[in-house]
Amino acid sequence: MIKRSNIDNIIVAGKSGAGKQPRIDVLTGEFSLEQLSTGNIFREYMGQFDASGYKGEISQFFDDSAPSGFVPDGEIEDAIRKATGAEGDLSGVVLGLKAKANINAGKFVPDTITNALFEKFFSRTGYKGMVLDGFPRTAEQAQFLIDLSKEKGVSLDLIVLVENEDDLIVGRTVGRRLCSDCGKVYHIEFKPSKDNVHCDKCGGKLKQRSDDVEDRIRSRLQEFYDKVVPAMKILEEAGIPSVVVNGNLEVFTEENVRRSVMEQVQPLLDE
Ligand SMILES: [Zn+2]
């Protein structure tokens, strides 16, 4: 059983487009936790790198013979200090550079770098009080998280899997349209604008994100099966309880979402 007052961290996982965010909102509210998203962590440290003002070619720091794929951190720091006059701790800037160098080169960011970024950000929270969103996403990241939580003496209390069928996700996502001026989100079937071409709010032209086409969506789904499912299995095998929450409600209201989450979680709570 989980003591409501003793919850350190909850992990939320689900396919891209399954409807994680409303369920995360329920969990953060219900248990007074904060959301920790991998996307925000990457933005934070890549932002720190951008703010350093370093304008040199970052691919020069790749070193394929090193386990990290990069030359030693000291060398990178020296180059940044020399070019920008930066002082103090540059570890976040270096991590941001490494993430950015991989992304710019069209490569996957290696687990070692994602883990380091995650740990750096997680340490600021005291390693607790979080709903983890987007981490862990691979088996290696899952093992890292288990080891880190043991080392820091905090618990991983619960896994919440938001489930939704592949075809439903594809249907919902391919129909999504964004206003190219104000960013408002529409759906050609479920939430169309008046003429399905322009934004009702500002008149901007609606567009489809390049990520929202069917083969991109299917490949994100495949990645979920290949990487995230094994990651969750490792967490479960480590003894972390998990529940499955329906990501597809017939009537979507805040109360229905809350109820669908808490119906699953409540039986595990020892109030
Ligand atoms: Zn608009």
Q: What pLDDT digit, counting tens, does each position of 250-262 carry?
A: 888 999 999 999 9
Rounded Cα distance, 109 and 46, in Å: 13
Q: How many angstroms separate the alpha carbon of residue 197 from the centre of ligand 1? A: 11
Q: What pLDDT digit, counting tens, does each position of 196-216 carry?
A: 999 999 999 999 999 899 999
Q: How many angstroms separate the alpha carbon of residue 198 from the centre of ligand 1? A: 8
- SS3 sequence, 198-219? ECCCCCCEEECCHHHCHHHHHH
Is pLDDT above 80 for 175? yes
CB atoms within 10 A of CB 5: 9
- pLDDT given for residue 270 in this prediction: 87
CB atoms within 10 A of CB 184: 16
Q: How many angstroms separate the alpha carbon of residue 46 from the centre of ligand 1? A: 28
| Contact indicator for 190, 174 with CB cutoff of 8 Å | no
Q: How many angstroms separate the alpha carbon of residue 256 from the centre of ligand 1? A: 29
Residues of each domain in the chain carrying CATH 3.40.50.300: 4-163+218-262
Q: How many angstroms separate the alpha carbon of residue 179 from the centre of ligand 1? A: 5
Terminal CA-CA length for the chain: 9
Question: In this structure, what are the phi and psi dihedrals at residue 85, rounded to the nearest 5 degrees?
Answer: 75, 15
CB crowding 31-70: b at 16 or more within 10 Å, else e: bebebbbbeebbebbbebbeebebeeebeebeeeeeeebb
Q: Which CATH architecture has domain 4-163+218-262?
A: 3-Layer(aba) Sandwich (3.40)
For 93-155, the DSSP string reads HHHHHHHHHHHHTTPPPPHHHHHHHHHHHHHHTTT-SEEEES---SHHHHHHHHHHHHHHT--
- Mean pLDDT in the chain? 95
- pLDDT range class, residue 177, cuts 50, 70, 90: very high
Is pLDDT above 80 for 264? yes
Q: How many angstroms separate the alpha carbon of residue 203 from the centre of ligand 1? A: 6
Q: How many angstroms separate the alpha carbon of residue 181 from the centre of ligand 1? A: 5
Rounded Cα distance, 142 and 156, in Å: 11
- pLDDT given for residue 36 in this prediction: 97
Residue 83 identity (one-letter amino acid)? A
92, 117, 226 from 229: Cα distances, Å? 30, 22, 7
Q: What is the mean pLDDT of residues 23-37?
A: 97
Q: How many angstroms separate the alpha carbon of residue 184 from the centre of ligand 1? A: 6
Q: How many angstroms separate the alpha carbon of residue 150 from the centre of ligand 1? A: 47
Q: How many angstroms separate the alpha carbon of residue 187 from the centre of ligand 1? A: 14
Q: What pLDDT digit, counting tens, does each position of 81-140 carry?
A: 999 999 999 999 999 999 999 999 999 899 999 999 999 999 999 999 999 999 999 999
130, 170, 233 from 22: Cα distances, Å? 16, 19, 24
In this structure, the strands spanning 176-179 and 206-207 are: antiparallel
- pLDDT given for residue 67 in this prediction: 84
Q: What pLDDT digit, counting tens, does each position of 56-76 carry?
A: 999 999 999 998 899 999 999
Provide the 8-state DSSP code for 189. T
The CA-based angle 7-152-92, given to 5 degrees, is 105
Q: How many angstroms separate the alpha carbon of residue 236 from the centre of ligand 1? A: 44
